Amino acid sequence: MMGRVRENDLKLPALYVIWERGQATTTEIKDALVDLFRPTGEDGQILAGRNDTKFTQKVRNLMGSHYETNGMADLAVKDRLGRFVLTAAGERYLAENEGDLERVFSRRAQGTLLYGDTVEAARALDGNHGDRGALLILSEAETVAEGGISRVQRRARQRSQRLREAAVQYYGRNGRIRCAACGFDFREAYGELGEGYIQIHHEEPLFLYEEEGIEARLPAALQRVKPLCANCHCMIHRRRDAPLSVEELRALIGQRS
Ligand SMILES: [Zn+2]
Ligand SMILES: [Zn+2]
């Protein structure tokens, strides 16, 4: 599922760019946001007869024609030379979200968040005033082991663990769980050794605030994960930037057998 960016999704990211540089023109903000988000799909396509993509058009509206009415005017002001600087309110708002934005953009740079995910994260942060704690990213990439993980990552991992347990229960039948793509059952193939083994694939990351429990979000979260065998899981991620959907993989297997 590809999330199309909305103007409001870009508010905090624009403040982030201005803050990083001290000041920035609309063109600089636009270029920096393209680098941070790396829009793909419809948002990345050049509009007919223009120099803009749908994405950059949104940035222009945010800082230009809609600037007075969309709330940006309270957060950043423009000097005579067309350079934006943050107001005190803008600085405060950014400070409450800066760590989260940094984490989201670094994941985007590493490729562990796709464009649509990055948009969704920015949307989750819009209007956040820090009282909900840090934004947790629940994705496969976040659960891989790395040394000296942060408090935020630890929290994300605990929630991921809970999501995994719930997924095994939800997708399992009588204690058995099959690959959602090919039907492979580890218990059936390997006996006792295979019992309980399955990989949980995140079709989309889940964004959750630290102060928010996962239980209420579980029904929706379960729709974003699928149980897969190791082979199918590898194949789904074979093209790193464009993972297949489970349906696509299933169709592919169907064609071949
Ligand atoms: Zn499989
Ligand atoms: Zn996966």
Domain termination residue (choose one: 119, 146, 166): 119
Q: Two tokens at 182?
A: 């090919």
Does 114 fall in a domain?
yes
Task: Return the ∠ at Cα 206 (arms to 200 and 208), rounded to 5°.
Answer: 130
The pLDDT score that the predictor gives to residue 152 is 86
Residue with tokens 């222009």: 60
How much is the CA Rg of the chain, to the nearest whole Å?
21
Give the pLDDT confidence of 113-160 residue by residue, as tens digits. Answer: 999 999 999 999 998 887 888 999 998 876 554 556 788 888 888 999
Q: Are residues 139 and 111 located together in one domain of the fold?
A: no
| Buried b or exposed e, range 32-61, using 16+ CB within 10 angstroms | bbeebbbbeeebeeeeeeeeebbbbbbbbe
The pLDDT score that the predictor gives to residue 144 is 52
User: pLDDT-derived band of residue 255, with 50, 70 and 90 as boundaries?
Assistant: confident
Q: How far apart are CA 130 and CA 121, in angstroms?
A: 15
Q: Two tokens at 220?
A: 């929706």
The pLDDT score that the predictor gives to residue 203 is 92
Span 246-254, mean pLDDT? 94
The rounded Å distance from CA 246 to ligand 1 centre is 10
Q: Are residues 199 and 115 located together in one domain of the fold?
A: no
Q: How far apart are CA 226 and CA 180, in angstroms?
A: 6
Instruction: Please check whether residue 100 is in contact with residue 125, taking contact to mean a CB–CB distance below 8 angstroms.
Output: yes
User: pLDDT-derived band of residue 5, with 50, 70 and 90 as boundaries?
Assistant: very high
Q: Are residues 112 and 12 located together in one domain of the fold?
A: yes
The rounded Å distance from CA 165 to ligand 2 centre is 16
Q: Are residues 142 and 247 located together in one domain of the fold?
A: yes
The rounded Å distance from CA 234 to ligand 1 centre is 9
Does 30 fall in a domain?
yes
- What is the residue range of 37's domain? 7-119
Does 235 fall in a domain?
yes
User: pLDDT-derived band of residue 241, with 50, 70 and 90 as boundaries?
Assistant: confident
Q: Residue 107 maps to which CATH number? A: 1.10.10
User: pLDDT-derived band of residue 1, with 50, 70 and 90 as boundaries?
Assistant: very low
DSSP string, 113-152: S-HHHHHHHHHHHTT--STT-PEEEESHHHHS--SS--HH
Q: Are residues 57 and 31 located together in one domain of the fold?
A: yes
The rounded Å distance from CA 250 to ligand 2 centre is 15
The pLDDT score that the predictor gives to residue 148 is 64
Does 170 fall in a domain?
yes
Q: How far apart are CA 186 and CA 224, in angstroms?
A: 22
Q: Are residues 161 and 192 located together in one domain of the fold?
A: yes
Does 126 fall in a domain?
no
Enumerate residues with CB within 5 Å of ligand 2 (an ion): 140, 201
Q: Are residues 105 and 149 located together in one domain of the fold?
A: no
Instruction: Please check whether residue 209 is in contact with residue 135, taking contact to mean a CB–CB distance below 8 angstroms.
Output: yes
Domain termination residue (choose one: 61, 89, 119): 119
Span 14-38, mean pLDDT? 97
Q: Are residues 140 and 114 located together in one domain of the fold?
A: no
Closest ligand by atom to 189 CA: 1
In the chain, how many domains are there? Answer: 2
Q: Are residues 143 and 244 located together in one domain of the fold?
A: yes
Does 1 fall in a domain?
no
Q: Are residues 235 and 142 located together in one domain of the fold?
A: yes
Interface ipTM: 0.98
Does 128 fall in a domain?
no
Does 172 fall in a domain?
yes
Domain termination residue (choose one: 119, 144, 179): 119
Q: Are residues 158 and 228 located together in one domain of the fold?
A: yes
Q: Are residues 215 and 106 located together in one domain of the fold?
A: no
The rounded Å distance from CA 143 to ligand 1 centre is 21
Nearest to 143 by CA among 112, 101, 111, 169: 112
For residue 244, CA distances in Å to 1, 211, 233, 238, 239 come to 11, 32, 10, 8, 8
